[in-house]
């Protein structure tokens, strides 16, 4: 390769490339892994299925859907329901389309993984230096709230009115200008994505990256991976020979690549998500919701009950998509959109899903079984959201429950949630997936896919470096 940043469409058909370290994917996992490996040996190559993540001055959702896999449409089937799942497909991965919210893994979760799954070197004392380094590299910090972010100010008002605990939330940002365009591209350049940080540093240190290219299959000699077949977005096929391969394609695409390569043992069996339950709230006065950003503050009073509450990115188009299923009954929200805000409950579900490869395709089939306790989480979540916003004098709330979409009082919500059937028809979405290739200190004992350091069980030179390896949901 003549350049260390290369469009795969410019390669020759059946070209053979050689590298020591091959990283598949350039999102949060692949970007960090590539930097660490490149410090060890400059013979490091990242292959990214998507295109470069370009910034434009006036980003709109319709102009940026190429950053989203399947243009933002990945269905998770749960009985008769569809949970919509979103992930990035561009250089920088999902960090290019999310809100840049950042939390350290809670100490209680790390302790649980260490004890329950016999993992080594994963205590908070061991992990703290890494967390601190990532916070430094990504400029993870609290955001100024004084003059904008009325959405998050409402969260603070609820806490003061009802005595609920809340906390500020850190984001990967440098001087956020509150353009409210996190999911489509930050026109101010404040959001610190992987393409702006770790990938930029990787390329400056002579690391190699091929974009617009998808790894289709991995080839083996016994239990050693030797070569990968790739195809560019325009159909150019080429091969990459390597000594070590690191899979960082994300919680869905990593198991799909393994399936296509003939590896199935303990893959895709324990998929977990943290679903979002989103509401639209109509207040009696203008709050100018477009002047802000994703949650800078959240209500954490109910974290032990499995959920937290915070603001969501807002624009009239986001509002339209959120309330579309309510039809003409939701027109008042659109007509008074400057009095309207979007909020989410981020929930820790107990359900388990499976990821499978649809035969004769490259497509995943994702199923998820909602646990009976998850209905209680949803019930309390919508009840507390309603209690909070009606305590501030909200006029109406559009809920994601089809049996009671528009409510005008807390008592109305209380009456509706008494019946489980009213909770079963609900619109949920998720962006936080994990555990499809979980790790443990003893993969055979725990039926996990990977070992203590992300090494794929039964193979000498395959490692996984993304959220697939997390043993459980983060909480």
37-55: pLDDT as tens digits: 999 999 999 999 999 987 6
Yes or no: say if 151 and 292 are a contact pair by the CB < 8 Å rule. yes
Q: Does residue 181 contact residue 59 with C-beta atoms inside 8 Å?
A: yes
Residue 241 makes CB contacts below 8 A (sequence gap 6+) with 16, 17, 18, 19, 226, 227
pLDDT at 370: 92
> How far apart are the C-alpha atoms of 184 and 111, rounded to whole Å?
36
- For 396-444, write each residue's pLDDT tens digit: 999 999 888 999 999 999 999 888 888 888 899 988 899 999 999 999 9
Is the model's pTM score more than 0.85? yes
Give the Cα separation of 246 and 254 in Å (integer). Answer: 10
Q: What is the DSSP string of 132-163?
A: HHHHHHTTEEPPP-SSS-HHHHHHHHHHHHHT
Closest CA to 261 of 416, 54, 459, 77: 459
Chain-wide mean pLDDT for the chain?
92
Instruction: Please report the pLDDT score of residue 403 as a whole number.
Output: 85
The backbone region for 309, taken as left when phi is positive above 0, alpha when psi lies in -120 to 50, beta otherwise, is beta
pLDDT at 325: 84
Q: Residues 6 or more apart from 215 whose CB is under 8 A from it?
A: 24, 47, 49, 228, 229, 230, 240, 249, 257
β-strand pairing of 208-211 with 5-7: parallel
Question: What is the distance between the alpha carbons of residues 98 and 87, in angstroms, rounded to a whole number?
Answer: 9
* Cα gap 83→427, rounded to integer Å: 7
One digit per residue, the tens of pLDDT, for the chain of length 475 reads: 557 999 999 999 999 999 999 999 999 999 999 999 999 999 999 999 999 987 655 556 556 677 878 766 788 999 888 899 989 899 999 999 888 889 899 999 999 999 999 999 999 999 999 999 999 999 999 987 776 678 889 999 999 999 999 999 999 999 888 888 887 778 888 999 999 999 999 999 999 999 999 999 999 999 999 999 999 999 999 999 999 999 999 999 999 999 999 999 999 999 999 999 999 999 999 998 888 888 889 999 999 999 999 998 888 888 888 888 888 888 999 999 999 999 999 999 999 999 999 998 889 999 999 999 999 999 999 999 999 999 999 999 999 998 889 999 999 999 998 888 888 888 999 888 999 999 999 999 999 999 999 999 999 999 999 999 999 988 6
In degrees rounded to 5, what are phi and psi of residue 283?
-95, 175
Q: What is the pLDDT of residue 72?
A: 67
Q: How far apart, in whole angstroms, are the C-alpha atoms of residue 470 and residue 270?
A: 10
**What are the tokens at 70?**
């399947």
């Amino acid at each position: 390769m003549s350049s260390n940043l290369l469009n795969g469409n410019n390669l020759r058909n059946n070209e053979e490339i050689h590298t020591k370290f091959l990283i598949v994917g350039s999102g949060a996992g692949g970007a960090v892994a590539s930097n660490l490996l490149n410090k060890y040996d400059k013979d490091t190559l990242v292959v990214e299925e998507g295109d470069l993540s370009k910034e434009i001055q006036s980003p709109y959702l319709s102009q940026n859907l190429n950053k989203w896999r399947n243009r933002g449409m990945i269905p998770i089937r749960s009985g008769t329901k569809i949970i919509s799942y979103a992930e990035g497909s561009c250089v920088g991965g999902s960090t290019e389309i999310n809100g840049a919210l950042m939390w350290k893994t809670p100490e209680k979760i790390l302790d649980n993984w260490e004890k329950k799954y016999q993992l080594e070197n994963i205590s908070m004392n061991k992990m703290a230096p890494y967390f601190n380094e990532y916070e430094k590299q990504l400029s993870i910090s609290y955001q100024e709230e004084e003059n904008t972010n009325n959405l998050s100010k409402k969260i603070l008002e609820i806490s003061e009115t009802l005595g609920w605990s809340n906390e500020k939330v850190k984001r990967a940002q440098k001087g956020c200008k509150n353009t409210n365009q996190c999911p489509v591209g930050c026109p101010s350049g404040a959001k610190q994505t992987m393409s702006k940080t770790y990938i930029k540093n990787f390329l400056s240190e002579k690391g190699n990256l091929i974009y617009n290219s998808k790894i289709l299959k991995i080839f083996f000699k016994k239990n050693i991976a030797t070569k990968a077949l790739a195809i560019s977005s325009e159909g150019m096929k080429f091969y990459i020979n390597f000594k070590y391969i690191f899979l960082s394609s994300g919680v869905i695409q990593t198991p799909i690549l393994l399936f296509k390569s003939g590896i199935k043992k303990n893959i895709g069996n324990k998929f977990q998500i943290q679903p979002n339950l989103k509401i639209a709230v109509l207040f009696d006065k203008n709050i100018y919701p477009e002047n802000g950003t994703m949650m800078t503050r959240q209500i954490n009073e109910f974290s032990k009950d499995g959920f937290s509450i915070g603001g969501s990115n807002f624009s009239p188009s986001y509002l339209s998509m959120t309330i579309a299923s309510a039809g003409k009954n939701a027109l008042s929200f659109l007509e008074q959109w400057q009095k309207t805000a979007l909020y989410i409950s981020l929930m820790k579900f107990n359900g388990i899903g499976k990821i499978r490869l649809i035969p004769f395709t490259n497509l995943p089939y994702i199923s998820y079984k909602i646990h009976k306790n998850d209905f209680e989480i949803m019930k309390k979540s919508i009840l507390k959201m309603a209690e909070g916003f009606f305590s501030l004098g909200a006029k109406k709330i559009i809920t994601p429950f089809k049996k009671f979409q528009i409510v005008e009082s807390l008592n109305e919500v209380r009456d509706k949630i008494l019946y489980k059937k009213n909770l079963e028809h609900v619109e949920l979405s998720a962006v936080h997936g994990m555990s499809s290739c979980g790790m443990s200190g003893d993969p055979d004992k725990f039926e996990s896919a990977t070992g203590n350091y992300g090494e794929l069980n039964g193979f000498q030179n395959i490692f996984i470096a993304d959220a697939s390896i997390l043993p459980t949901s983060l909480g």
